[in-house]
Amino acid sequence: MASMATLFVNSPNPSYSFSKNPKPHFGSNLKFSVSVQIKNNKMKNHQRVRIFNGLIEPDGGKLVELFVKESQRDEKKKEALSIPRIKLSKIDLQWVHVLSEGWASPLNGFMRESDFLQTLHFNSLRLDDGSVVNMSVPIVLAIDDSQKQRIGESNKVALVDSDNNPIAILNKIEIYKHNKEERIARTWGTTAPGLPYVDEAITNAGNWLIGGDLEVIEPIKYSDGLDRFRMSPAELREEFTKRNADAVFAFQLRNPVHNGHALLMTDTRKRLLDMGYKNPVLLLHPLGGYTKADDVPLSWRMRQHEKVLEDGVLDPETTVVSIFPSPMHYAGPTEVQWHAKARINSGANFYIVGRDPAGMSHPVEKRDLYDADHGKKVLSMAPGLERLNILPFKVAAYDKTQSKMAFFDPSRPQDFVFISGTKMRTLAKNRENPPDGFMCPGGWKVLVDYYDSLVPSENGRVAEAVPA
């Protein structure tokens, strides 16, 4: 899988002008260059600030990493043993990962109440200098009454994993009420039962939230064979700069890649070349945090993505595949803003958005939870995302006349077949082949092998899919 980290060819980096237009910022007509400035925000001693020339600058003007210095790790581990502890859930640990690497810059820890309220009500944060950055999903840590009591008057707590290993210290803490109903209603637009993230991380969580400044003792590792693909925003920016990328376009996904996806990505690169860019690079960025049980697990998706590059569906010389560590909310237009904002911090200045991004079926009624077009419309108008160029999907479908995925031609609709994700999963479960040209053979075999792994064993028990 090492070839997946191979990127792009070198080329000069031209400059572009960016018009600050308050109108919807779809990317077809936009080009820009970025000069990096340091804003006058106060920085904590333990934060490392990285500035990058030539790429879109991170939110707030700097990429905020929250790791302690290597020389201080032993000291911080000892300190963690002497203060109240909070045990992190799997999803909590994923959020520590997100915060520690700067995906949520300029946040420097779990949200205090002011940031929480701004996120819920405005989908954005106002910084000390008056500027606004997007922030649409709360990044918070819940505690229960007994934990709150144990913390007492302490102004800091240790965060530990399931084995009680110290992960981080949360400083200058603030504890405030966790109004779950308001949080759910404002994030998802509904309080209907059956929302996956709500069931997994909110319903049974504590009635208090604790915020503060994070000091993360060591980089988060999962030891699952995929850590080498978990590139941080800093690592991605360094790689893009090293390769002289003059545009970075991000594609978020939580499903296997079929040839329709590949068509969209290769067409996007062609469009950027036509706009005058010399070396646009694709960031293929599968989501690697929590996903619901019926999604294909990350390890299988990464195997499938590997085959897509091996089979030449995507060019490994102009593609970088990396794992985005965020948990998945399935919160539609609200969540897609977070997905886009995080990619700014990794260096992407173009973001591909499709039908019903971050959406799901309504958990109770037989319909989609969100309007399929609202995600791209919201992204084009969202506060704090004005610097990001939004590239809406063209509609791709299987063209029976050419036996391949192609852009839908409304003048001959009878020639096209739309193969939904549900249909794709059904075919794979039944070991049936899709039409030739729908997905590369190697990639399809990985998908079939995954569903085969869920088939009843000799004792009649089925290996159930579980949330990632």
Condensed to tens digits (0 to 9), the pLDDT of residues 277-328 reads 999 999 999 999 999 999 999 999 999 999 999 999 999 989 999 999 999 9
Claim to verify: residue 134 and residue 271 sit in the same structural domain: no
Domain enclosing residue 446, as ranges: 227-324+394-454
- Regarding whether 231 and 150 lie in a shared domain, the answer is no
C-beta of residue 167 within 8 angstroms of C-beta of residue 159: yes
In a domain, 122, yes or no: yes
- 306 and 421: one domain? yes
DSSP 375-401: HHHHHHH-TT-TTSEEEEPPPEEEETT
pLDDT tens, per residue, the chain with 468 residues = 333 333 323 333 332 222 333 334 444 333 333 333 333 343 343 444 444 447 999 999 999 999 999 999 999 999 999 999 999 999 999 999 999 999 999 999 999 999 999 999 999 999 999 999 999 999 999 999 999 999 999 999 999 999 999 999 999 999 999 999 999 999 999 999 999 999 999 999 999 999 999 999 999 999 999 999 999 999 999 999 888 899 999 999 999 999 999 999 999 999 999 999 999 999 999 999 999 999 999 999 999 999 999 999 999 989 999 999 999 999 999 999 999 999 999 999 999 998 899 999 999 999 999 999 999 999 999 999 999 999 988 899 999 999 999 999 999 999 999 998 889 989 999 999 999 999 999 999 999 999 999 976 555 444 445 566
Q: How far apart are CA 216 and CA 29, in angstroms?
A: 41
Domain end, chosen from 172, 192, 216, is at: 216
Same domain, 208 and 271: no
Instruction: Identify the three-state secondary structure at position 280.
Output: strand
**Largest Cα–Cα separation, the chain:** 71
For residue 25, is it within any domain? no
Question: Do 284 and 200 sit in the same domain of this protein?
Answer: no
**Does residue 265 fall inside a structural domain?**
yes
What angle do the packed helices 332-345 and 374-381 form, to 10 degrees? 50
What pLDDT is attached to residue 468? Answer: 60
Reading the block at residue 55, the tokens are 């790429």
Contact 63, 247 (CB under 8 A): no
Q: CA 214, CA 96: separation in Å to the nearest integer?
A: 8
Q: Is 15 exposed, middle or buried (0-12, 13-18, 19+ CB in 10 A)?
A: exposed
Which of 216, 248, 280 delimits the end of a domain?
A: 216
Task: Report which residue type is found at 58.
Answer: P
**Could you give the dihedral angle defined by the CA atoms of residues 379, 383, 386 and 391, in that order, rounded to the nearest 10 degrees?**
0
Residue found by looking up tokens 């990619």 in the block: 343
Q: Is the same domain home to 295 and 401?
A: yes
Query: 248 and 144 share a domain?
Result: no
Bridge pairing between strands 166-177 and 142-143: unpaired
CA distances from 121 to 118, 130, 306, 401, 467 (A): 5, 18, 40, 49, 29
SS3 content of the chain, % helix, strand, coil (to 5): 35, 20, 50
Are residues 93 and 231 located together in one domain of the fold? no
CA angle 221, 140, 359 (to 5 degrees): 85
Tokens 């919160």 belong to which residue? 331
What span, in angstroms and rounded, lies between the C-alpha atoms of 126 and 139? 16
Residue 394: per-residue pLDDT: 84
User: Cβ distance 433 to 427 under 8 Å?
Assistant: yes
The domain tally of the chain equals 2
User: What pLDDT is attached to residue 216?
Assistant: 98
Q: Is residue 436 part of a domain?
A: yes
**16 lies in some domain:** no
d(CA 376, CA 262): 19
CB hemisphere CA count around 332 (13 angstroms): 24
Position 196 scores a pLDDT of 98
State residue 467's pLDDT score. Answer: 62
Give the CA dihedral 456, 458, 460, 461, nearest 10 degrees. -60
282 assigned to some structural domain: yes
Distances (CA, A) of 262 to 167, 218, 251: 38, 36, 10
CATH number at residue 83: 3.10.400.10
pTM of the model: 0.87
**How many other CB atoms are there within 10 angstroms of residue 160's CB atom?**
18
Strand-pair category, 156-160 with 85-87: parallel
Query: Nearest-CA neighbor of 14 among 278, 202, 386, 373?
Result: 278
CB proximity list for 220: less than 8 A, separation 6 or greater? 93, 96, 97, 100, 167, 325
For residue 288, count CB atoms less than 10 angstroms from its CB and return exposed for 0-12, middle for 13-18, buried for 19 or more: buried
- Please say which residue of 216, 236, 261 terminates a domain: 216
The total of other beta-carbon atoms located within 10 Å of residue 376's CB is 23
Can you give the pLDDT at residue 20? 35
Residues counted in the chain:
468
Rounded to an integer, what is the distance from CA 180 to the centroid of its chain? 23
Q: Using one digit for the tens of pLDDT, what is the confidence trace for 179-208?
A: 999 999 999 999 999 999 999 999 999 999
What are the C-alpha distances in Å from 349 to residues 271, 370, 414, 431? 14, 26, 37, 40
Q: Check if the beta carbon of residue 428 is closer than 8 Å to that of residue 445.
A: no
* CATH number, position 303: 3.40.50.620
Which pair of structure tokens corresponds to residue 50?
């990285």
Are 300 and 425 found together in one domain?
yes
Q: Is 134 found in the same domain as 91?
A: yes
In a domain, 254, yes or no: yes
In a shared domain, residues 135 and 242:
no
Q: Do both 207 and 159 map to the same domain?
A: yes
Q: Is residue 334 part of a domain?
A: no
Amino acid letter, residue 78: K
